[in-house]
A and B are shown apart, each in its own frame.
Chain A
Amino acid sequence: MRTLEERVHRLKANAELQRIAAAYSGYLSGAQYESILGLFSSREDVWASMPWGTYRGQDGLRRLYTGLYSTLYRDGGCLKPGVLTVHGVNTPVITVAEDGKTAQALWTSPGVFTVEKEGAPNGLQSYWSWQKACGDFVLEEAAWKLLHLRIAPLFTTEFEKSWTEEQADAFACIPPEFGADAPTMGEFPPLELHDKASVGAWSGDPWEDTEDARVTRLELIAEAQRLMGLYSNLMTMQQYDRIPELFALEVPTVRAEMFWGVYEREESITRLYAKLYPRLTENAPGRIADQVQSLEVPVITAAKDCQTAKGVWVSPGFMNIRQSDGTLKGCWSWQKYAADFIRTEQGLKIWHLHVYGLFESEYGSGDIHAFGSFGADIPPELAPDRAPTTPFRLSADSVYPYEPAVPKPYSVFDPDYGY
């Protein structure tokens, strides 16, 4: 069993990794490339793998950040006029090794960038850019440092085109002297779903605000965030049969509410993810080829009694819909998420998941509408158990509601306020 100090060390690692990722993003968007170098380990086996190749060692990192980026983007102390490099991070999945000396983190990175381009209007080309970012971290002299960074594009698209259209190579402008040392790194590490020890075994009197109880609540919050990050990534990777493992299937009141209905209890949740979603994503016109729903703006609260937690998120995303001519239609896809979590013998699990459709829109069409691609042709054997509880549908006459309500601090879970 971990000591209180070890548990706090792990929570600190979680917070520090998120700060480092955000600092990297802030330095990048502010052309503070020397400061980015300071986030990396001083070891010689460091590397940064970009979509066009991998930069190895300290020399490689300098060639990438203070060489390539500085040449392409910076003029004096700041970015060149009109140039923009904004790559945020959300959807964290952070795992600290058992010895507390290394850690791994995965983020989704929605962003935009603008670079100089000969012949483009105003000499500039703007892009939407969604990526996955994965970092290996090491503890060096009590400070967490990046050892390996992998950036893999989900899509990079000129603003004027959908990401499903043919694109010019956005990375063709890299001068040979700043080229990479090696090809991009391969597959991302697999996702480990279970971490029974992520929340301490504390079971004392919750009304005594002991350090143990307070740390347990922080662990519950960190684990709730990790669970939802896992959910998002499993959906992206279409590993639907693994998703029910994230739920408290042994709890009779477990449920998942989609915007087309509510799936209750283990059998229905398995039906939703292991059977319906593979159908929604099969290779046929009108089906989903790819869907990414990131999660940001979390508001998460752990119960005073340390048995449950509650959280809400906004989910910016996109999807590609298969067309009858074999092409794909790229769409923005925004949702909101709310969830209750409950402690089980297998660790913290999702108890109630509620997905709120916000809008979908074919890229560039200007046609914004409520979610409608789903639910129209769900066969009876895969239908939900009951109708959705949130009737809001975005339209020209609808008044946007305040939902889900952010969770307030609470003592014991109240079923009347379940998501």
Chain B
Amino acid sequence: MEALEREIRKLEAIHEIQNLMGSYSFFLDGRKYDELVELFSRTQADVRVELGGVYIGLQSIARLYVGKHYDQHAGGHYPGFEGRGIVAKHPQNTPCVVVGDDLRTAKGTWISLGFAFFLQEGHKEQHWGMFRYGADFIYENGHWKIWHLRVYDGFMTDGNASWSNPRPRPMPPEGMAPPEGMGPPPDRFPSDLPPTSDYRYDVKTPVPYSPEVPEPYRVFDPARAN
């Protein structure tokens, strides 16, 4: 392959990967879970998402988004509720995308500063969150797909309390039931494996350097996979 063609393909890859992650964000917040699952590799048996626990394989990834996310974050657990008054955005910025010299894989990192609001009377909650995303991508059948996606734990505030000075979560007054259609449903879609790290932001723990900034590389190194 000529050098110019190689450069163009790398630029196209960087752009397509940014669109992939942008689509992930719009689909997730817009509850388009079937479309979201389409963003993942169809050819790699070890396609996976680490979000709390690790979901391995396309069927598990569908369980995570079409099942668990719909159930727990879009009110799907409660028939007819449709997630009224819930709005969440976890957009990513700071894209750092590096394409392997063999043009078969790529790696990227992002920062997400977002929020989750619950607006229903009796269940008003406001959370601000910071997470980092690290992902590996693979080129298959003429398109780039997400291969490994890992959401690295950051923090989620509770109400108006800072992440470095959290307050205990207020309990509802005794005898007060959650409003109709609300309240945390049970996790009916457990992960295949527990998370690979038990890190969560707290004031006594050093924040690790993860995900690492991807450096230019020739061929994908499985030891450095997200």
Bound: A366/B119 CA distance, A: 10
A316 touches B208 (CB 8 A): no
Q: Which residues of B contact A299 (CB under 8 A)?
A: 18-19, 22-23, 26
Q: Mark A356-387, 1 if CB is under 8 A from B, else 0.
A: 00110000101010000000000000000000
Bound: A299/B29 CA distance, A: 14
Q: How large is the interface on B (under 10, 10 to 19, 20 to 34, 35 or more residues)?
A: 35 or more
> At the interface, yes or no: A30 with Cβ under 8 Å from chain B?
yes
Q: Mark A2-20, 1 if CB is under 8 A from B, else 0.
A: 0011001001100100110
- Chain B's interface: helix, strand, loop or mixed, by majority? mixed
> At the interface, yes or no: A396 with Cβ under 8 Å from chain B?
yes
Most chain B C-beta atoms within 10 Å of own C-beta, residue among A5, A27, A79, A399: A399
A126 touches B84 (CB 8 A): no
> At the interface, yes or no: A125 with Cβ under 8 Å from chain B?
yes
Binds B, one of A98-106, A197-205, A400-408: A400-408
Name B95's contact: one of A8, A18, A160, A400 (CB within 8 Å).
Answer: A18
Q: Mark B202-226, 1 if CB is under 8 A from A, else 0.
A: 1111111111110000000000000
Name B85's contact: one of A5, A110, A300, A398 (CB within 8 Å).
Answer: A398
> At the interface, yes or no: B117 with Cβ under 8 Å from chain A?
yes
A8 touches B26 (CB 8 A): no
Name B83's contact: one of A82, A111, A120, A400 (CB within 8 Å).
Answer: A400
Write the nearest CB–CB distance from B92 to chain A, whole angstroms. Answer: 6
> At the interface, yes or no: A72 with Cβ under 8 Å from chain B?
no
A82 touches B84 (CB 8 A): no
Within 8 A of A (CB), among B1-49: 4-5, 7-8, 11-12, 14-15, 18-19, 21-23, 25-27, 29-32
Bound: A364/B157 CA distance, A: 12
Q: Which residues of B contact A19 (CB under 8 A)?
A: 96-98
> At the interface, yes or no: A58 with Cβ under 8 Å from chain B?
no
Write the nearest CB–CB distance from B98 to chain A, whole angstroms. Answer: 7
> At the interface, yes or no: B69 with Cβ under 8 Å from chain A?
no
Bound: A110/B115 CA distance, A: 14
Please judge, given known A-B contacts A19-B97, A27-B213, A398-B84, whether A364 and B22 are in contact too, CB under 8 Å: no
> At the interface, yes or no: A285 with Cβ under 8 Å from chain B?
no
Q: Mark A389-419, 1 if CB is under 8 A from B, else 0.
A: 0000011111111110110000000000000
Binds A, one of B50-58, B59-67, B162-170, B189-197: B162-170
> At the interface, yes or no: A286 with Cβ under 8 Å from chain B?
no
Within 8 A of B (CB), among A233-266: none
Number of inter-chain CB pairs below 8 Å:
199
Bound: A211/B6 CA distance, A: 11
A110 touches B12 (CB 8 A): no
Write the nearest CB–CB distance from B124 to chain A, whole angstroms. Answer: 7
A401 touches B160 (CB 8 A): no
A396 touches B87 (CB 8 A): no
Please judge, given known A-B contacts A26-B213, A214-B8, A403-B30, whether A314 and B165 are in contact too, CB under 8 Å: no
Please judge, given known A-B contacts A79-B207, A314-B89, whether A366 and B25 are in contact too, CB under 8 Å: no
A79 touches B206 (CB 8 A): yes
Name A35's contact: one of B22, B121, B124, B213 (CB within 8 Å).
Answer: B213
A78 touches B162 (CB 8 A): no
> At the interface, yes or no: A331 with Cβ under 8 Å from chain B?
no
Name A75's contact: one of B25, B165, B206 (CB within 8 Å).
Answer: B206
Q: In the complex, how many residues of chain A place their beta carbon closer than 8 angstroms to a beta carbon of chain B? A: 78
Most chain B C-beta atoms within 10 Å of own C-beta, residue among A298, A314, A364: A314
Which chain B residue has the least Cβ–Cβ distance from A5?
B4
Q: Which residues of A contact B83 (CB under 8 A)?
A: 399-400
Which chain A residue has the least Cβ–Cβ distance from B29?
A400
Most chain B C-beta atoms within 10 Å of own C-beta, residue among A78, A90, A405, A406: A406
A88 touches B93 (CB 8 A): yes
Write the nearest CB–CB distance from B164 to chain A, whole angstroms. Answer: 4
B96 touches A26 (CB 8 A): yes
Bound: A296/B114 CA distance, A: 12
Bound: A124/B163 CA distance, A: 10
Please judge, given known A-B contacts A8-B4, A211-B8, A300-B19, whether A112 and B113 are in contact too, CB under 8 Å: yes
10 A-B residue pairs with Cβ-Cβ distance under 8 Å, sorted by A, are: A8-B7, A32-B213, A81-B204, A159-B165, A214-B8, A297-B22, A334-B89, A358-B89, A400-B29, A400-B86
- 8 tightest Cβ-Cβ pairs between the two chains A and B: A402-B30, A30-B209, A22-B96, A299-B22, A26-B213, A159-B162, A82-B203, A314-B91
Given contacts A25-B96, A86-B154, could you give 8 more A-B pairs where the C-beta distance is less than 8 Å? A22-B94, A27-B213, A88-B113, A124-B203, A159-B164, A314-B89, A395-B119, A399-B82
